[in-house]
A and B are shown apart, each in its own frame.
Chain A
Amino acid sequence: MYRQTARILLLLGAVALPTAAIAAPSAADIAAGKSIAFNRAEGNCLACHVLPGGTMAGNVGPDLTHFPFKIVFHNRQKLVNFIYDPEKVIPHINMPQFGKNKVLTHHQIELVAGYLWSLQK
């Protein structure tokens, strides 16, 4: 996982996505983000990633339970940008382009990013 984390770090540094501050999500928004992440017909993050409270999670992608989102992405906007089009950040990554290919709406991606951001202590 560290190797993957570092790859993301290095590439994020190279890409330097625009940063815009977004308001901290409410508890309701976090719950909504979790629901999208768990839902098979929406984010379906559990297909590939372990998330706290998720049952029968896949192990194709990194375990996100203790993933250092803040260190890797610096701010939530960069995480939103990553989920929107991971390929832009990490070429050949095996992760759907959730925003670019309209799997999720921009608002849904923001909710998911807010939920993931909230996982860190």
Chain B
Amino acid sequence: MEIDIKRMAHLARIDLDPQDESTIATELEIILARISRLFEVDVEGVPPTFVMGAESMEPAEDLPHESLCRELVMECAPSVHDGYFKVPRESQGV
């Protein structure tokens, strides 16, 4: 199976330059061929393990607790305005 790199890069919101696009496509093709060995394994009736240690996990108590202060979080942001994250408009001319 081939990977449509352009579409995947769009879904992942990554701007790829054409040269990287071609080398990544070649490398992923090789990796995907290796990954296809998974189809040799008989997994009929085997439950998947998506989460590790799920059996010992307990939900946290639903109580308010101390968290990072807003000012500290905002200091990390590239751009803020009036206590909010500031970003460019969604599309030009709107």
A, B in one complex? no
* Chain A interfacial positions (CB closer than 8 Å to B): none
B residues in contact (CB < 8 Å) with A: none
